[in-house]
A and B are shown apart, each in its own frame.
Chain A
Amino acid sequence: MSDVCIVGAGIHPFGRTEGLDGMDQGVYAVKQALADTSIAWEDVEFAFGGSSASGAADTMVSQLGLTGIQFINVSNGCATGGSALNAAASAIKSGEYELGMAVGFDKHPRGAFNADPAAYGLPNWYGEAGYMLTTQFFGAKIMRYLHENGLSTEALGRVSEKAFRNGAKTDHAWRRSEVDLETIMNAPLISDPLNKYMFCSPAEGAVALILASEKKAKELGGPMIRLKTSVMRTRPPGSFEVFAASIDNERGGTATELAAKAAFEQAGMGPEDIDVAQLQDTESGAEIMHMAENGFCPHGDQEKWLIEGRTEINGALPVNTDGGCLACGEPIGASGLRQVYENVIQLRGTAGEHQVPGDPKTAYTQVYGAPGVAAVTILQR
């Protein structure tokens, strides 16, 4: 089987862009990625793509060119981008194709995601009585996690503080201003213990990645960024997911734990081998839980790590170097691919102001979301 390399990466800056719909931003990202690879759209043999709220990805051929390309739409909730990448990588590994693309884009209205109980198999009373809010789930989940692991709410504030500090240095980020810890801790609560600086917002943005076989990547000549593994997993029994009217007394593992374990096995590496990591931070608590679920630190050590600055850009394991979802916002279809984009520029050494020092060689991404899905990638230069 051929190794798969990421030979080009393009992004439409995250945030709010008046006058451009989600699909337009997707097309913009594709053009950036083609230019980055020094290839033409006609050279791309296949594509996988998706969005949650901005239409069918394959229709972007009308803007990019009617080359007759195989273009398959992916719809996998929060793992849409990760699944598109996974499928594109498989198509190359199989030997069927040499050069292809994964693209994700979205544009969501302001405010929390609106959800319809029936779409989740729930009775109407669940929404009428005031339970149909993703923010409640995040609050309740991290409330328990902090309690079980002896962590303080200040740890949540430290994650946000770092996110905004990194976002301020990142061109593609949405939130570009630092916020100090005291301001964060004194902000109004949204869903205890999480306050308004601790949640990411639905947003807009797009990412496109060009993938190639090892042979093709050598021909193209750029830096060899190898996609060592790309894994997607669904939840095991006893996980704690959004919109659950009940959960089992007996607690179980998580989709992230399954994906992380499989990814490290496939890559022949362990958490100690990773130089930089992008971890799902829908809210501050998610980054904290995911530091442990991905195996980077024991449960309960996160606050110590944050206080010691181990996850800062110049720390032992930089986490969310572009400010993550907290600073970039979350366009669902694009979010997982943004993490990979960030790792590509980190491994190339072209991240500029937010570049991780020390010439990083390995980079990790993890996305997690509804309804209990996780996707992990490991890149190596």
Chain B
Amino acid sequence: MGAQPIADNLFTDDNMTALVGARNKQTGQIFFPLPLTPNDNIEPIALATRGTVWTYTVQRFPPKTPYAGPADPVNFKPYVVAYVSLPGQTMVESRLTGVEPEDVKIGMEVEFTAIPLDPDAPADQQIMIHAFQPV
């Protein structure tokens, strides 16, 4: 068993190439993620893989439960949480990867990727979450 996505219906495919969003068939509004309960008015849609950082913050302290990532206060590594604007779709809340908190800029171009929740976990046990990285 290789790396596994953190949840079903989050990514479009096993290679985790894009996120699954939701589209309201009546209003056209696109949002993320798919609702927990099926709804005839909502259809899944692949979200764009390129966008720009609309805003961001940095998680500086280890979160409490239900956080399932590494939360040891000594070795905790702060992570960036951004809203990434996907043109014509929606803004997705997502971690940024491959950039230090000090170097993040609003307006920065980013592309979709998947990253392990705990980079130190053995490769075959990794749980994958969504992220964007600078282009």
Contact = CB atoms under 8 A, between A and B. Distances in A.
Co-assembled chains A and B = yes
Interface of A: 111-112, 114, 116-117, 121, 123-125, 127-133, 136, 139-141, 143-144, 147, 188-193, 244-249
Nearest to B82: A140
Contacts of B92: 245-246
Given A121-B36, A129-B6, A246-B21, A189 B66 contact: no
Contact of B83 (A124, A190, A247): A247
Interface of B: 6-7, 10, 21, 29, 31-33, 35-36, 54-61, 63-69, 79, 81-83, 85-93, 95, 101, 106, 117, 129-130
Contact of B33 (A123, A132, A140, A188): A123
Contacts of B61: 190
Most buried by A among B83, B86, B92: B83
Contact of B57 (A140, A246, A248): A140
Given A125-B7, A128-B69, 7 more contacts: A128-B6, A129-B129, A130-B67, A132-B67, A191-B58, A192-B56, A246-B31
Nearest to B31: A246
Contacts of B29: 248
A116 B65 CA distance: 9
Nearest to A132: B66
A143 B56 contact: yes
A124 B68 CA distance: 10
Contacts of A143: 55-57, 106
Contacts of B7: 123-125
Given A114-B64, A189-B60, A144 B106 contact: yes
A133 B85 contact: no
Nearest to A141: B55
A261 B11 CA distance: 43
A140 B101 CA distance: 13
B59 A130 contact: yes
Contacts of B130: 129
Nearest to A237: B29
A88 to B, nearest CB: 37
A191 B66 CA distance: 18
A56 B130 CA distance: 41
A125 B60 CA distance: 20
Most buried by B among A121, A144, A247: A247
A70 B69 CA distance: 49
18 contacts: A112-B64, A128-B117, A129-B95, A130-B59, A130-B63, A130-B81, A131-B93, A132-B67, A136-B59, A140-B56, A140-B82, A140-B83, A190-B60, A191-B57, A192-B58, A245-B93, A246-B91, A247-B90
Contacts of B54: 144
A192 B33 contact: no
B40 to A, nearest CB: 18
B100 to A, nearest CB: 12
B48 to A, nearest CB: 11
Nearest to A121: B36
A124 B90 CA distance: 21
A28 to B, nearest CB: 31
A261 B63 CA distance: 38
Nearest to A111: B64
A111 B54 CA distance: 29
The 9 closest A-B pairs by CB, nearest first: A139-B57, A127-B66, A144-B55, A128-B68, A246-B32, A125-B7, A192-B58, A140-B57, A125-B6
Contacts of A117: 66
Nearest to A194: B57
A189 B102 CA distance: 12
Contacts of A245: 31-33, 92-93
A116 B67 CA distance: 11
Contact of A192 (B64, B101, B129): B101
A132 B66 CA distance: 8
A190 B56 CA distance: 13
A245 B32 CA distance: 6
Contacts of B90: 246-249
A191 B59 contact: yes
A62 to B, nearest CB: 35
Nearest to B131: A129
Contacts of A192: 56-58, 60, 101
B55 to A, nearest CB: 4
A247 B82 CA distance: 12
A147 B58 contact: no
A114 B66 CA distance: 9
B60 A130 contact: no
Contacts of A124: 7, 66
A246 B32 CA distance: 5
A256 to B, nearest CB: 19
